[in-house]
Each structure stands twice: as structure tokens, then as C-alpha cells.
Amino acid sequence: MRTTLKAAVGAACALALVPAAASADSIAYIKDGNVWIADPDGSGQYQVTDDANEQIRYYSPSQADDGTIVAAQGEEIVRLQQNGKVLSRFNPPPVPNSVDSTSDGVPVDLAVSPDGTRVAYTFYSTGCPVGVSCGARGVVTYSWADRASDPAEFGWSYNVRTPEWVTDNRIITTGGYGRHANFDSPDGGVDDFVNWWGDGEDVSDAEITRQGDRIAYLRSYGERTHLALYAVQGDARTEVPPAPATEGGCHSGADATLDDPTWSPDGEKIAFADAAGVEVLETPRAAPCDGPPTQVVLPGASEPDWGPANVNPGPRETRPPHYPPACGKRGFCTPPPVYVKPPKLTSFTTKLRTALAKGVTVPVTTSGEGDVKVELLSGRKVLAKGSAVVDGSWAAKVKVRFTRAAKKSLARKRSVKLTVRATWEPESGGAALRSTSRVTLRR
């Protein structure tokens, strides 16, 4: 049972957890790595997917108004019917980030538009680029829900995360200082990105009611994390309203495990996850900080998303697993990944004298085991090459050594830029995959 909640300013009152009445709407969620769906009171629980395992699980489920579910699995975005039938799946392409590079990998914070046509998601990248502070950087972008899209088609937003749709053509995102709460639209540019307001504390997982009149979000971080609920003075669906009044609203007690608040379609209740599972909070507009406490409605569940469709999966479709378990010829016995993509490289700079004498070490990340070959080229001419075996870590450091002729031709150079080409042959079979980057050699 959750702690009671209180008004943001003034005497405490018991904004509490109460069971949601049975209704036609539903909550999609994650349990044991699979996607499930249930009535908001916890009844009618139905397991949508059944192919998750310790290596590959589902996450970030989101419902369209017709009950179609979009979730992530591995590095893919998967669109599902409630009975588990896969309607489409794709691996979204890399997206430019704020440090003149790209973000790629695992799409998180998925949110499908109410009409089901588009999906917004976040790519995160971490690192210490030259001349830029170290840290994690989020990029929010969009795609058609049923196929991969060029990020330039709908645009992207730097240094934000956790997108949620306000309407079919508007999202709210959260971010760090100066970008706590923001609006954006999938219009192919960043000209309509608008910062709405700053809280003074960390803000994440913001969601606005379908009526555009209330906002819920997670406030602060770590052990101080709490749920904040505020009225919106205006219509967030069509305008940029004033900032929520600091003297209004309700705050919960602190709980580091709070996650993923999601409004009911009528804007009178909110579900969220914590260490115990998914709970439903009743917050009537007339008295948002009142109500008795309740028990968890979905024990062991996480990542809830509330939608207007009822639980109505129909007959389950029998389908083969997306991938078979396998052991490669070297004895790697983890299941092959559900996605294959070109090896990942980064551009870098190193000393020319050392490179010619001892070679160049090139880090390569793949999406599975296998063999990887790395070459350094000037135009089409191969100047250096090396190879390595990629084991269960899906990463290798490949030592690349220059040919005798290349050493002689580069010995008097002060600086040279070469193409790095990596070719990965997956252990699980299939065509070799290739990618390129750049290396600069300087005296």
C-alpha cells in the first residue's frame, strides 16, 4: 500500500489510492519481461506476448485508441494486436544528437499517438566528446508506427526525454535545466519546439490529460522522487498555457521507485508503478487530494500505459518464436539477437608515429557474436588491416597494422585522415554487415 499524499502548499490532505471502477478502458504493462493488458481494477489480466527471456525482454508498452500496442524489444519497435499477433517490427535508424554525432541502439520511452499512426521515442547516448562535458544525452524523435522512417521526416529534439502525446500532433517532453517541460510537433524541424516552464527540481515522465487541463509528473530524483499533480490554466492541447501555479496541486511522499504515471481517459484517475507493482490513484477534479488508500491492483507489474480500448484480445494466434536458441561453432550458447545491424564505430584521433610503429586499436561493437575485420583506407586503397573474434560481450578491440608500403608513404606526413571500415560476419549466419568511420593520424 502506498503512502498518503498531500497538498503542495498548506495543510496535508490524503490524496490517496482507491480502486478504479470497472470500465471499458485498459492498462497495458510489463510483467516478467512480457507485455500484458488488464482492466484498470486489476481484473481481466491477459498476457499479450510470450517470447521474452533473460536476454531479450519487452519494455515501454504504449496503447493507441483502438487497442493496438507498440512496445520495444531489443533494438526494435514492435506493433502488436492484443492477442499477440505482430503487425510490424523494425529497427529505427540513428538520429543526430547535440554533440555533432549520432545516437542509436535501444529505443526507450515509447509513446504511440492516439490514432496509432506515429510513435515517439528516446535514444540515449553517453560519453565524453572532445570539448563537451561528459554525460548522458537524450534525443526524442518520431517514426511511422508501422515502419522505419528517416528522422528528418518528422524532426527531433535535443537533450529531452520521455515523450507523451497530448494530441495526435503534439507531444510533451521533459529534460534538464531550461527544458523541464516542453512541447513539440512531428513537423520535420525544430522550429516549433517550445519550453513551457521550469520547476526548480528535476522533472520527468510528464503526462497531460486528454482534456488538456491537468498534468502529472515525477519531481526530484533518487530518494526524494515524488509524484506531482497540477491543474493546467488553459488548454495544453492547443496553446502554451501559463506555468502551473506553485501554490496548487498535490505531491506524494518520496519514493525512489515511482515510475511512469499515466492518466485515465477521463482525466479523473492516474496509474503509476512502484516497487510493489502498478497502483491506481483517484484524483477527482473537485477534490484532487482526497480519497482512501488501497492495495496494489497489478502486483509485480511495471511501465503502465492507460488507454480507452477495452480488454478484447480474441483468439490467440499461434506463431513461431522470433528467434531460435542456438550455439555457435565456438560454443557461444546465448540466443541470437532479435535484430542485426551494422557494427558500431566511432571516429577518433591518434598519434601517427605510434600508429605506424605499433598499429591502431579500433573498438568495434556489434549486435551478436562472430568475426570482425577492420581496414584503414585512403580512397579505395587498403593501408592497414586486422581482425578479431567477437564473443558474448558483443565487442572487440581490433589491432590494425599498416603494410610496409603504407608505412613508407605515410612516414613524412604531418597529418592524414583515413576511412575506418569494419566488416562483421554474424556467428548466427546471414550476410556480412559493414560500417565506416574516420581516423585522424597526427604527429
Query: What is the Cα–Cα distance from 58 to 280, expressed in whole angstroms?
Result: 22
Hey, do 5-307 and 348-442 end up sharing a CATH topology, with the first three levels equal? no
Query: What is the Cα–Cα distance from 152 to 91, expressed in whole angstroms?
Result: 16
The residue ranking higher by pLDDT, 196 or 292, is: 196
Provide mean pLDDT across the span 333-345: 59
Provide the CATH number for the domain formed by 348-442 in this structure. 2.60.40.2550
**Cβ burial, residue 342 (10 Å; 0-12/13-18/19+):** middle
Q: Decide which of 1.10.3720.10, 2.120.10.30, 2.40.30.10, 3.40.50.360 is the CATH code for 5-307.
A: 2.120.10.30
pLDDT tens sequence across 226-266: 999 999 999 999 999 999 886 778 998 899 999 999 999 99
pLDDT tens sequence across 375-421: 999 998 999 999 999 887 788 999 999 999 999 999 999 999 999 99
pLDDT of 337: 41
pLDDT tens sequence across 2-38: 444 466 643 333 333 334 444 579 999 999 999 999 9
The residue ranking higher by pLDDT, 346 or 191, is: 346
Residue 282, strand partner residues: 269
pLDDT of 328: 43
Of 129, 149, 126, whose CA–CA distance to 137 is shortest?
Answer: 126
Q: What is the residue extent of each domain of the chain?
A: 5-307, 348-442
Confidence of residue 200 (pLDDT cuts 50, 70, 90): confident
pLDDT tens sequence across 35-89: 999 999 999 999 999 988 777 889 999 999 999 999 999 889 999 999 999 999 9
